Chain A
Amino acid sequence: MSGNGLTEIRWHGRGGQGAKTAALLLADVAFKNDYYVQGFPEYGPERMGAPITAYNRISRREIHVHSNIYHPDYVAVVDEGLLDTVDVTAGLSEDGAIIINTAKTPDEIRPKLGGYKGKVFTIDAKKVSVECLGKNFPNSPMLSAVVKVSDIMPFDEFLAEMENSYAHKFSSKPEVIEGNMNALKMAYEEVKE
């Protein structure tokens, strides 16, 4: 969190991967931890697979700004293929960090980051998701990694709020709650710096 009590996060993903949902979920849990929040997507001619951007502002003070985020503290990349086509580190604070969904290590992925000098974290969200949920839903593991790296809130409080949201969201299929919770916990352990 920067000096003025504001954390700004930019999400890069592809339409259908849940980057927008992850941003909205993060806003949700931060709200429940008494933060002022914003969670919003940047809309264009959206379609499955097209690059999309979503944003979070999380602050202890009321938020008035309604622009996109150009100087984020953290960047989350849900699809590593975007590293070849999107300037994901544009404006990213060197005191902040980038979190990338990939099977590679931070050292292996850093050459693709255009000389970014800040911290690089990787998480194999696909592996975590497939192991815990049987399918590739990268957004829950990515969310967990972002919460860990940004240290926005204590992880146990994050888990407790997520369990509440899942209980609400999956009230008609409670069997998937455990898998999602496991994905959050496993992702927390699997983040590499």
Chain B
Amino acid sequence: MARKDRLSGNEAVAEALRQINPDVMAAFPITPSTEIPQYFSKYVAQGKVDSEFIPVESEHSAMSAVIGSQAAGARSVTATSSAGMALMWEELYLAASNRLPCCLTLVNRALSGPININCDHSDSMGARDAGWIQIYAENNQEVYDNLCMAYPIAEHKDVQLPIMICQDGFITSHAVENIILNEDEEVKNFVGEYNPEHCLLDPECPTAVGPYSVTNYYFEAKRAQAEALKNAKQVTLDVAKEYAKITGREYGLFEEYMMEDAEYAVVIIGSAAGTTKEAVDRLRKEGVKAGLIKIRLFRPFPGEEIAEALKNVKAVALMDRTESYNDCCGPLGAEVSTALYRANAKALAVNYVYGLGGRDVKVSDMVNIYNELQKIAEEGKVEEFYRYYGVRS
């Protein structure tokens, strides 16, 4: 039986973690994800979970401890944001290349500088090529569900990679909203026991983790890692299907909203997708064929599937909540443009940078984007591909 509740995004993450009952959490607090280890350490103190909580002295140590415990055979988790993730940089790559299916619950926050505590995606997007699976959420319900599905995806024998469960700092992490929670038993059974094929604490099968790789082997190791990430796409779909059986809530690689006959589409990530849905509803009432694609799985990137979903649109806006400093395109802009080019798609594409440092995204902003798309489709050309929305000149 599902339970109706109202929780903030951080509370939802803590609740999912309580139900998952991982073996180890190592974390160092940083705004806006501080509440996650705060609530979870309380559950540890109250004996509501069996987990070992390691209060480390930095995020570098947090991810190092998670790597150590995961390699030992313990299901491990951490939480961080922004500069905290930046301090984990080396370890992010180690977790992925050592094929350790640990979990990072990331609360997206802008990276310095100027220093800022509010939401954008510059932290996780900077780490998009670290080899982690990345899943993003629109609201507290999705971050909760994504976390319940995290370990079954990460630990799958064809994957065995770390997974990043992302939500928007403050916008969802600190907003109380309605949520439907699973029963503890349902989550426990869904996640199951962690039985790694290899681990350090297996005396029957001694193994080394993280040894030097000579040139003769390094490339093959990286190729195998890439194959594992590729496999994560199908596994994400399979796990979502199983999850829907117990919850009734269905998830794909991305969500299509009013896309069936859409002529103008927005591709977007995170909480602004909800605001965009409202814009789509308003425009549809005026007869404008607006549609939305909300990215759920960003790594691996479902390029072919997105190109297929966009095949009939006239114009599409690719929305990046981060700057890439390349004078060319943002991360989402690059991935979708490549996919469209490969598919010989006819859609005219434009790439916006928006919402940096928590700059609010209103329904009227998204209506403006759709209006711009109509203009582009009418003129039949894109003057300026890489552009900014909502920045003062």
Q: Which of A28, A43, A66 contacts B139 (CB 8 A)?
A: A66
- Report B194 CB to chain A, min CB distance, Å: 34
B171 contacts the other chain (CB 8 A): yes
A116 contacts the other chain (CB 8 A): no
- Report B269 CB to chain A, min CB distance, Å: 13
Chain B, residues 241-285, CB within 8 Å of chain A (1/0): the string is 000000000000000000000000000000110110110000000
Beta-carbon contact of A66 and B176 below 8 Å: no
**Chain A residue with Cβ nearest B4:** A31
Which chain B residues border A28 with CB–CB below 8 Å? 6, 176
B175 contacts the other chain (CB 8 A): yes
- Report A77 CB to chain B, min CB distance, Å: 21
Question: What is the interface residue range for chain A against chain B?
Answer: 10 to 19
Known: A39-B175, A64-B274. 19 other contacts (CB 8 A): A28-B176, A31-B178, A37-B177, A39-B176, A40-B174, A40-B176, A43-B118, A43-B174, A43-B358, A64-B275, A65-B275, A65-B363, A66-B138, A66-B168, A66-B171, A66-B275, A67-B361, A67-B363, A70-B362
CB pairs A–B below 8 angstroms (27 shown): A24-B176, A27-B176, A28-B6, A28-B176, A36-B178, A37-B6, A37-B177, A38-B175, A38-B176, A38-B177, A39-B176, A40-B170, A41-B174, A43-B32, A43-B118, A43-B170, A63-B177, A64-B275, A65-B274, A65-B363, A66-B138, A66-B139, A66-B168, A66-B175, A67-B275, A67-B361, A70-B362
**Chain A residue with Cβ nearest B175:** A40
Q: Which of A37, A64, A67, A68 contacts B176 (CB 8 A)?
A: A37
Which chain B residues border A43 with CB–CB below 8 Å? 32, 117-118, 170, 174, 358
Complex CA gap A37/B170 in Å reads 16
5 tightest Cβ-Cβ pairs between the two chains A and B: A40-B175, A64-B274, A66-B271, A31-B6, A39-B176
Complex CA gap A100/B346 in Å reads 56
Which chain A residues border B271 with CB–CB below 8 Å? 66
Beta-carbon contact of A66 and B272 below 8 Å: yes
Chain B, residues 289-315, CB within 8 Å of chain A (1/0): the string is 000000000000000000000000000
Chain B, residues 164-201, CB within 8 Å of chain A (1/0): the string is 00001011101111100000000000000000000000
Which chain A residues border B277 with CB–CB below 8 Å? 64
Complex CA gap A70/B361 in Å reads 11
